[in-house]
């Protein structure tokens, strides 16, 4: 009788587990199943699949019988906790790679402060080792700027960061395009400042924040003829062609001339009428068209601004405004 009872209990226990599969029939319940990475099979002692990962202890154990199957697991959490009142971020992870640097910020170097006498004593460096590390540091610095292409990229990146007046994202895109041009051999034999200025001009133009060639010339100290040639070549090579509409210059002119809201509304009204006729503005200097629209709007709203004032802000001549108004005369009759 005792043997039959034990066999019956073992059979019931085996049917209850059934390798962690759900039982069929009315009122059947699916056994609890919890897995962790690397442990999905049932426990060898109790047959349950109820694994738990204790990060504080670094152990993986069975939640039913307590069998420990793995020790010293890797903690996937942060190296430490940055509390709200802690001073600074103590993370050892550096910044993301950036094209603002010639090596994308992935280079390492030996700091000069670590090779002083106090730094050597702090790190337990002997005088002989200190002399050797100083020599290695000089060799490392020289090796980083030995290639002319790397020096040119560093020079161009400095120009873009100092003279472009672009946002950080735009500067990074400009440095990336310059790096591609340098790798393709386009910069060789050409002016570094000219190519950098052309790239910055095209980036601003494609982001609907156009600048005039004269402004880029003054910032990068490049001639107009050379810069214009670079812009045409770089835009064709990198496929950065984009048609700029005169309304892209409205904000600049409105700000510098301090125009009132009624004049701004009149400018928008005039531009909407002209925009429907592309032959009036396509293929012409956009800032010249914008200056002519501003002059026409201030006349309509009685906000006095002379042609000389508008030309000084827009960087065009009075002849350009008069010629543009003459070409658009039949479109202005409605106003």
Strand ranges across the sheet with 59-62: 33-34, 49-54, 59-62, 68-71
Complete DSSP assignment for 297-320:
HHHHTT----HHHHHHHHT--HHH
**Distance of CA 233 to CAs 143, 227, 229, 236, 241, Å?**
33, 10, 6, 5, 10
> Over its length of 335 residues, how does the chain's per-residue pLDDT go in tens digits?
445 555 655 555 554 444 444 444 444 445 556 666 667 788 888 888 888 888 878 888 888 888 888 888 777 666 555 555 555 555 555 667 778 877 777 777 777 777 777 777 777 788 888 888 888 888 877 766 667 777 788 888 889 999 988 988 899 999 999 999 988 889 888 899 999 999 999 999 888 888 888 889 999 999 989 999 999 999 999 888 887 888 888 888 888 888 888 888 888 888 888 888 877 787 788 888 888 888 888 888 878 888 888 888 888 888 888 888 887 775 555 44
Radius of gyration of the chain (CA): 36
| Dist. CA 278–CA 134, nearest whole Å | 66
Using CA atoms, how far apart are residues 150 and 168, in angstroms rounded to an integer? 21
Report pTM.
0.58
Distance CA 275, CA 290 (A): 12
């Amino acid at each position: 009788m005792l043997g039959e009872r034990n066999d019956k209990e073992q059979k019931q226990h085996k049917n209850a587990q059934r390798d962690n599969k759900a039982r069929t029939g009315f009122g059947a319940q699916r056994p609890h199943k919890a897995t962790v990475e690397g442990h999905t099979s049932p426990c060898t002692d109790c047959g349950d699949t109820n694994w738990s990962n204790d990060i504080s202890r670094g152990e993986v154990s069975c939640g039913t019988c307590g069998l420990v199957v793995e020790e010293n697991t890797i903690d996937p959490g942060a190296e430490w906790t940055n509390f709200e009142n802690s001073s600074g971020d103590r993370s050892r992870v550096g910044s993301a790679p950036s094209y603002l640097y010639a090596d994308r910020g992935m280079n390492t170097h030996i700091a000069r402060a670590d090779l002083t006498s106090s730094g050597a004593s702090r790190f337990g460096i002997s005088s002989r080792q200190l002399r050797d590390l100083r020599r290695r540091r000089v060799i490392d610095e020289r090796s980083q700027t030995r290639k002319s292409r790397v020096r040119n990229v560093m020079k161009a990146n400095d120009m873009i960061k100092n003279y472009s007046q672009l946002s950080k994202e735009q500067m990074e895109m400009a440095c990336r395009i310059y790096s591609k041009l340098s790798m393709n051999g386009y910069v060789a034999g050409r002016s570094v400042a000219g190519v950098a200025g052309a790239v910055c001009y095209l980036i601003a133009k494609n982001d609907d924040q156009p600048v005039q060639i004269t402004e880029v010339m003054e910032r990068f100290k490049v001639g107009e003829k050379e810069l214009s040639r670079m812009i045409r070549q770089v835009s064709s090579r990198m496929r950065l062609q984009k048609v700029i509409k005169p309304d892209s210059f409205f904000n600049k002119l409105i700000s510098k001339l301090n125009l009132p809201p009624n004049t701004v509304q009149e400018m928008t009204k005039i531009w909407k009428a002209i925009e429907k006729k592309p032959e009036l503005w396509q293929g012409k200097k956009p800032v010249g068209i914008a200056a002519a629209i501003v002059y026409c709007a201030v006349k309509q709203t009685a906000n006095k601004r002379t042609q000389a004032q508008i030309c000084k802000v827009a960087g065009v001549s009075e002849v350009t405004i008069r010629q543009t108004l003459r070409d658009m005369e039949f479109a202005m009759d409605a106003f």
